[in-house]
Amino acid sequence: MAPGGAGLIVSSQTGYMPNALTDEDEIALALTPTSELASLECLDGSKTPNSGAAYIVSKKANQLRTRTAAATNWAERGARINTISPGIIVTPLAYDEFNSPGNTYQEMIDSSALRRVGTPDEIAAAGAFLLGPDAQFITGTDLLVDGGVIASLKSGKYDLQVH
């Protein structure tokens, strides 16, 4: 990456969902060298008892590790790095989820402020902003683009059950 450059990692709104990580766990996830991540106690299964919980932790780790990289490796290169966390976006994966058992996606949409799914173009526009000249003072942050799903979850309007 050239000095003045920018990188963008696409994560997920899932990184904002409730999980069993402590502040200490988050610090360890953010700072542990990649080769040692598998040895972290918080990843031994006790805090990720099922695939849903593990997915949440993996997306949280994306955000945490990008924030750390922004202050270290990328800063040393004179470059910026951020993450973007899309909500439910109209993609083939979303259609698969809509056709799977349960109503989790629809419940999230119905409880959100905008009450709709997002589009790939909306995510691309947010990404273009983070990579462009208007965001030159932004690094090490995550941009949540979810139509208000996480706000609904955090306010108690929506109760997510991780199975």
Residues in a beta bridge with 84: 10, 143
The whole-number pLDDT of residue 89 equals 92
Q: What is the predicted pLDDT for the residue at 3? A: 87
Predicted pLDDT at 92? 75
pLDDT tens column, 65-95: 998 888 888 888 899 999 999 998 988 777 6
The structural domains of the chain, with segments of one domain joined by +, span 6-155
**C-alpha closest to that of 23 among 60, 54, 56:** 60
Question: 6-155 in CATH: which number?
Answer: 3.40.50.720
For residue 66, count CB atoms less than 10 angstroms from its CB and return exposed for 0-12, middle for 13-18, buried for 19 or more: buried
Catalytic (active-site) positions? 55, 59
Q: Which of 82, 88, 98, 70 lies closest to 14, judged by CA?
A: 88
Q: What is the DSSP string of 16-63?
A: GS-----HHHHHHHHHS-GGGGGG-GGGSSSS--SHHHHHHHHHHHHH
